[in-house]
Amino acid sequence: MLFNSLDFALFLPIVFVLYWFVTARNLKLQNLLIVVASYVFYGWWDWRFLSLILFSTLVDYLVGLGLSKQENLLKRRVLLWTSIGVNLGFLGFFKYYNFFLDNFIEAFSFFGRDISPNSLNIILPVGISFYTFQTLSYSIDVYKRKLEPTRDFIAFAAFVSFFPQLVAGPIERASNLLPQFYARRTFEYSKAVDGLRQILWGLFKKVVIADNAAEFANMFFNTPADYPGSVLFLGAVFFAFQIYGDFSGYSDIAIGTARLFGFSLMQNFAFPYFSRDMAEFWRRWHISLSTWFRDYLYIPLGGSRGSLAMKVRNTFIIFVVSGFWHGANWTFIVWGALNALYFLPLLLARKNRTHLGPVAENRILPSLREIWQMASTFALTVLAWVFFRAEDMAHAMAYLKGIFSTSLFTVPKGAHFLGSAMHPFVLFFLLGFFILIEWFGRKEQYAIGATLSSQPRFLRWLFYALLIFMLGVFAQTNETPFIYFQF
């Protein structure tokens, strides 16, 4: 079920009413309602894959119970690797089977041996990369004795399948989300209003910014040979706003929806395009995944300690694995490796933690130096996004070759934008409005959070009305899925 669909617009109020007015006095019943609602939410897409979530839930629940009773180190490791094997096994089969098979065939062809094993027509279950990582964090934390295993199966099933963040995160840690299912929730008006406000901002990001930027980005990426370098660069910039609006918009809707039900989810994006270097960018982009890899892969590998070779190895491992997590394609691996190259000089020069606070923290406007830092970081990010967006490596290289040609310095013409229903100046206006709001809200959890809530009621409602008006005017006629559903 899509957040930006009529189905969800009907589903959410029904679950909300049942949650607060029918089951509120019984915590177990309330948690059971969350499980049922979450399975309906997921099954709306394809009910057959509910068995995967249920099986993963059962395995990790039983592994947790087993770890609570077991002191023998070898047996504890067996239990942990059972959880890792099952979760990564599902992920490997559904997401990477055909990728490895195709590369296996190509490798044999390179040495003059042709083999023809059968590939499988595998459907990738929506959100499998997210909920497997969430359940893995539970098993690992219980194994490391950082978390007490739960005996409440309903609470655990609700933690694994919690519908606001089930299919595209944030990837919550068990230590943060699971205890919230143990505690009685009480309805708080201010919290619910804040949740609705964040949902509205998330919908604006997705429907107004991402979907309209996508129309231009798709046009230029589909036939790059038809456009000069300057237009192709604009296409990559539009994709940068598409993916940011799409994914951070989803996170805002997820966090806001969870808040409606009395839950607090972690911030997943912290205005990454205002970053002054790539290290800051990765502290602000997809925070739940970055910190997952940091805690469960980078630090166990040794982190930034050890020899120079060790630091380089660990940096490349975490970025390449992160890229591969996004998809079974060499383009994602190259995207990850390129970001490792961006990050490495900062790490080796010990400047990777230079910019920890928001840019222009006590000022309205940034300095010229900060403008240059943000612009150069954004430009590097845009170039890396070309690999992320491209269908394959040949497509990515053709697109980049088109950008880095003499036509990069030509002025785009109106004829280059004829394939879009929206005039490009309208999109530039929307992006300018979006950047302005994000800039003034950059110190908040989300752009229109505390800053807007402190304004007079008239101004607040005027702004809400403006956002709703823009949603109505600039929404696409068809429902567009979120990009990260494919991961």
Query: Active-site residues: which are they?
Result: 326
360 neighbors 335 (Cβ within 8 angstroms): no
Q: Which residue, chain included where needed, has tokens 């309602």?
A: 33
Whole-number Cα distances in Å, 445 to 162, 208, 221, 244, 354: 21, 21, 33, 16, 21
Whole-number Cα distances in Å, 377 to 210, 423, 441: 21, 28, 20
Which residues in 270-384 belong to E strands, given as ranges? none
CA angle, residues 161, 170, 95, in degrees to nearest 5: 70
- Phi (first) and psi of residue 380, to 5 degrees: -60, -40
Taking alpha carbons only, the member of 225, 196, 262, 256 closest to residue 460 is 196
14 neighbors 23 (Cβ within 8 angstroms): no
Distance CA 363, CA 270 (A): 18
Identity of the amino acid at 389 = R
Helix/strand/coil for 101? helix
Note every long-range contact of 464-472, with CB atoms under 8 Å and residues 24 or more positions apart, other chains counting: 464/197, 464/200, 467/200, 467/201, 467/204, 468/200, 470/204, 470/208, 470/430, 471/203, 471/204, 471/207, 471/208
283 neighbors 353 (Cβ within 8 angstroms): no
Whole-number Cα distances in Å, 58 to 51, 83, 152, 180: 10, 10, 12, 20
| Through-space distance between the first and last CA atoms of the chain, rounded to whole angstroms | 16
Under 8 Å CB-to-CB from 92, ≥6 apart: which residues? Answer: none
Helices (H) and strands (E) in the chain, counts: 21, 0
- Phi (first) and psi of residue 36, to 5 degrees: -60, -45
Under 8 Å CB-to-CB from 224, ≥6 apart: which residues? Answer: 232, 235, 395, 398, 399, 402
